[in-house]
Amino acid sequence: MHGHGASVLPAATVENYNFDVKHHGEILNNRVRKGAFLDKLEGFRQDLRRFGADPMGDLPTADLSKKQLGSFLNGDEPMAAAVVQAAIGEFSNDIADVLQRFLKDKNWAGVERIVVGGGFKEGVVGERTIAAACLRLRSLGIGVNLTAVRQHPDEAGLIGALHLMPSWMFKGHDAILAADIGGSNIRAGVVLPQLKDAKDLSKASVWKSDLWRHADENVRRTRSVDWLVDALKDFISRAEKDGLSLAPFIGIGCPGVIEADGTISRGGMNLPGGNWDDRRFNLPKVLTAAIPKIADHDTIVVMHNDAVVQGMSQRPFMSDVKRWAAITIGTGLGNASFTNTAE
């Protein structure tokens, strides 16, 4: 059984994750998050307001949706498009700078491809930013290819949980429970391995999922855990009604450094309610106590870093490279690097 935060998974070795790069005491990772992009966008909007009207109107920058930003970028108002493009240019340079520093670390040496996930990558602005960051790396003489996560990031964060489970547990079961805990949302759902369609899990999909956006509320950690337990129990009932055989397994992706005992040693500061890195708190044990059995079998919970889990959802599409990595751009910057093992 592969334990919490394991470095050796069934199809890949996790070389490194939750890596921070610093410059003059600043953690440069903080420049690569959704909030940093919005700060740049707001800065350009403020410059325009000093000398006239804002072509984006009165809507606060923080309230602009991905769809609205895409409309401005591709719209008929040149100045609005220029503002979004300028923010993309600066943000993509920051991404390239951080990745350049990552690639100098021994644990990232030899990485050939970096997959980009997280909520920011969705939409035309995210796509343009990834492309611009790749172009910037090329201009620096770095030939690493940047590519977007194939599935929607919300689904990739659940599908990757399949790679935390040893292969023998797939026998006789149709699906697993999974959860992805983030700084803005918690998602839980049921994942179908679809092994009959592809043994490498490349056809895996999410059967059903629920999302709670806790960032809109001032919540305590206890409430977050209660929501997750209730959601997982509900999925057990829904799966049983639909005749799905659930494996007695729950895979969890969570920000931070995940210790072998299931505690979070650091990096959980963005999680709802705080104190997730309290040594006395152990989410896998809490879930096991709340859901001791699934279909008359003892429940096994395995937790890993969320960038590792979302990254591993892309493992079936990385067979043509040996070394690869993943970053997730959302409330913070998640990252992980991998070496493939025999499939």
Structural domain for 253, as ranges? 152-313
Question: Do the domain assignments include residue 132?
Answer: yes
Asked if residue 194 and residue 133 are part of one domain, the reply reads no
Per-residue pLDDT, 113 = 97
Q: What is the percentage of the chain residues whose pLDDT exceeds 70? A: 99
Question: Do the domain assignments include residue 8?
Answer: no
Question: Do the domain assignments include residue 337?
Answer: no
Per-residue pLDDT, 226 = 92
Q: Is the pLDDT of residue 1 over 60?
A: no
Question: Do the domain assignments include residue 335?
Answer: no
Asked if residue 206 and residue 132 are part of one domain, the reply reads no
Asked if residue 304 and residue 195 are part of one domain, the reply reads yes
Question: Do the domain assignments include residue 235?
Answer: yes
Give tens-digit pLDDT for 213-236.
877 777 788 888 999 999 999 999
Asked if residue 253 and residue 157 are part of one domain, the reply reads yes
For the ranges 183-187, 204-208, 268-272, 338-342, the lowest mean pLDDT is seen at 268-272
Per-residue pLDDT, 159 = 97
Q: Give the per-residue SS3 of the chain.
A: CCCCCCCECCCEEEEEECCCCEECCEEHHHHCCHHHHHHHHHHHHHHHHHHCCCCCCCCCHHHCCHHHHHHHHCCCCHHHHHHHHHHHHHHHHHHHHHHHHHHCCHHHCCCCEEEEECHHHCCHHHHHHHHHHHHHHHHCCCCCEEEECCCCHHHHHHHHHHHHCCHHHHCCCCEEEEEEECCCCEEEEEEECCCCCCCCCCCCEEEEEEEECHHHCCCCHHHHHHHHHHHHHHHHHHHHHCCCCEEEEEEEEECCEECCCCCEEECCCCCCCCCCCCCCCCHHHHHHHHCCEECCEECEEEEEEHHHHHHHCCHHHCCCCCEEEEEEECCCEEEEEEEECCC
Higher pLDDT among residues 328 and 183, named by residue: 328
Asked if residue 215 and residue 135 are part of one domain, the reply reads no
Question: Do the domain assignments include residue 17?
Answer: no
Question: Do the domain assignments include residue 318?
Answer: no
Q: What is the mean pLDDT of residues 88-115?
A: 96
Asked if residue 59 and residue 127 are part of one domain, the reply reads yes
The model's pTM is 0.93
Of 148, 175, 208, the position where a domain reaches its end is 148
Per-residue pLDDT, 166 = 83
Q: Is the pLDDT of residue 289 over 80?
A: yes
Per-residue pLDDT, 103 = 97
Q: Is the pLDDT of residue 275 over 90?
A: no
Count of structural domains, the chain:
2
pLDDT bucket at 262, cuts 50 / 70 / 90? very high
Asked if residue 79 and residue 189 are part of one domain, the reply reads no
Question: Do the domain assignments include residue 325?
Answer: no
Give tens-digit pLDDT for 55-72.
999 999 999 999 999 999
Q: What is the mean pLDDT of residues 99-123?
A: 93
